[in-house]
Amino acid sequence: MSGLLEGRVALVTGAGQGVGRGIALALAAEGASVAVAGRTVAKCEKVADEIATRGGEAWPVALDVKDPEQVMATVHDVVERLGGLHILVNNAQEVARGALLEVDLDQVQSGWESGPLATLRLMRAAHPHLCDGGVIINLASRAGVKPDPVDCGAYAAVKEAIRVLTRSAAWEWADDGIRCFAIMPLADSPALADLARDEPDAYERSLRSIPMRRFGDPETDIGRVVVFLCGPDAGYLTGITIPIDGGAAHLG
The C-alpha atoms of residue 42 and residue 54 are separated, in whole angstroms, by 19
Phi, psi of 141 (to 5 degrees): -155, 150
Phi/psi of residue 61, nearest 5 degrees: -135, 130
Active-site residue, selected from the candidate residues 155, 173, 181, 215: 155
- Report the relative pairing of strands 135-139 and 87-90 from DSSP bridges: parallel
Strands (DSSP E) along 39-79, which ranges?
58-62
155 flagged as catalytic: yes
- Beta-ladder partners of 39: none
Please answer whether residues 107 and 96 qualify as being in contact, where contact means their C-beta atoms are separated by less than 8 angstroms: yes
Strands 87-90 and 33-38, bridge-based pairing: unpaired
Burial of 44 (0-12, 13-18, 19+ CB in 10 A): buried
Closest CA to 249 of 106, 123, 149: 149
Catalytic residues: 155
